[in-house]
Amino acid sequence: MELRHIRYFMAVAEEMNFTRAAEKLSIAQPPLSRQIRDLEEELGARLFERSSHSLRLTEEGILFKQYAARILELEGRSKDDIAEMSGGLHGRIDFATVEGYGPHLLAGWISGFHTLHPRVQYNLWTGTTDEIVNRLHRGLCDMAIVMEPFSDPDIETVHVHSEPWAAIIPKDDPLAKAKGRSIRPADLMDRPLIIPSRASRSSEFSKWMPDPEKPLNVICRVAHLINVRELARAGVGIAIFPLAEGVMTVDDKVVVKKIDHPDAIASYLLVWSKERPMPGVAAELLKYIRKDLKHKEHAI
């Protein structure tokens, strides 16, 4: 098996059409089809189900696509690492983060690191903690920012930030008009709620309530801050989300108030896999982040 076989396979798997894949690769279709057949013969399995009008991956094809993506990624990184040795720090860092304060932390780190190493590139992805952990285990990101609760023996963690959970309240809601910059969990009982999509959040929030056994009135679960804000602005319900002070903007449609409960604290962790060696450029960013965290710790 040669790298060209893998590149040809990935082109077909991405386009799901031999004609378009051949155009993308700048080769004729018959040689491409022949290369894919040769690859299938070598693997001893069909990678594609072919019909006159459609093309789809077999189960073996789906599995091989995951390995093929890793192989091409390693090829690219090997070139980057060799170039880095002769021409300064160079390469790409794949970073994932939850929303809330995560993007703000990441932007600060990238800004400082970019000043030192302008040739480094970044591929950023945003999702829930559960989605990000899955990406880490699959080798799709080098490191990430997730939120507690979190426990995984195969992943290294460093605490990087804590902030209160907050309620994003439609401006016309009585809770928005009430005095004070915080509300009690009891004020949210029976109210229509918009909460993060992570599976554990509902039970976590229930524990803050006077009656933890009573189900919350959850009408919407969301992963991204823009959806949280827009739903609250439209008056759909009250959103529970990390405060993200300095990031969460207040306008004439919503009021943001802290939730007054000792456990209503959102904690962020920097995480990376113990199982998979970190690329050199990502390891340098980790060193930079550790140094930045230590500097801020001493400054407090």
Whether 262 has a pLDDT exceeding 90, the answer reads yes
Confidence of residue 285 (pLDDT cuts 50, 70, 90): very high
* Predicted local confidence at residue 238, as pLDDT: 95
Whether 117 has a pLDDT exceeding 90, the answer reads yes
Confidence of residue 246 (pLDDT cuts 50, 70, 90): low
Confidence of residue 170 (pLDDT cuts 50, 70, 90): very high
Residues 183 and 147 in one domain: no
Whether 83 has a pLDDT exceeding 70, the answer reads no
Amino acid at position 298, single letter? H
39 compared with 83, residue with greater pLDDT: 39
d(CA 254, CA 66): 44
Amino acid at position 131, single letter? E
Length of the chain, please?
300
* Predicted local confidence at residue 152, as pLDDT: 92
CATH number at residue 224: 3.40.190.10
Mean pLDDT score, 17-27: 88
In a domain, 60, yes or no: yes
Percent of the chain having pLDDT more than 70? 94
Residues 149 and 229 in one domain: no
Residues 294 and 148 in one domain: yes
In a domain, 141, yes or no: yes
83 compared with 225, residue with greater pLDDT: 225
Percent of the chain having pLDDT more than 90? 57
Residues 112 and 183 in one domain: no
In a domain, 84, yes or no: no
Mean pLDDT score, 17-23: 89
Residues 108 and 227 in one domain: no
* Predicted local confidence at residue 1, as pLDDT: 78
Number of compact structural domains in the chain: 3
pLDDT, tens digit (0-9, with 9 covering 90-100), for 189-210: 999 999 998 888 999 999 999 9
* Predicted local confidence at residue 260, as pLDDT: 95
pLDDT, tens digit (0-9, with 9 covering 90-100), for 85-99: 555 678 899 999 998
Residues 227 and 262 in one domain: yes
* Confidence (pTM): 0.69
* Predicted local confidence at residue 259, as pLDDT: 96
pLDDT, tens digit (0-9, with 9 covering 90-100), for 118-144: 999 999 999 889 899 999 988 889 999
d(CA 296, CA 92): 26
Whether 249 has a pLDDT exceeding 90, the answer reads no
7 compared with 76, residue with greater pLDDT: 7
Whether 52 has a pLDDT exceeding 80, the answer reads no
Among 16, 47, 79, give the residue marking a domain's end. Answer: 79
d(CA 227, CA 195): 11
Six token digits for residue 227 = 């959806």
Residues 259 and 210 in one domain: yes
Residues 65 and 129 in one domain: no
Residues 278 and 140 in one domain: yes
CB 177 within 8 A of CB 233: no
* Predicted local confidence at residue 250, as pLDDT: 65
Please name the residue ranges forming H helices in 26-58. 29-43
CATH number at residue 26: 1.10.10.10
Supply the angle between the helices 280-299 and 102-116 in degrees, to the nearest 10: 110
d(CA 74, CA 123): 15
Give the structural domain span for 67.
3-79
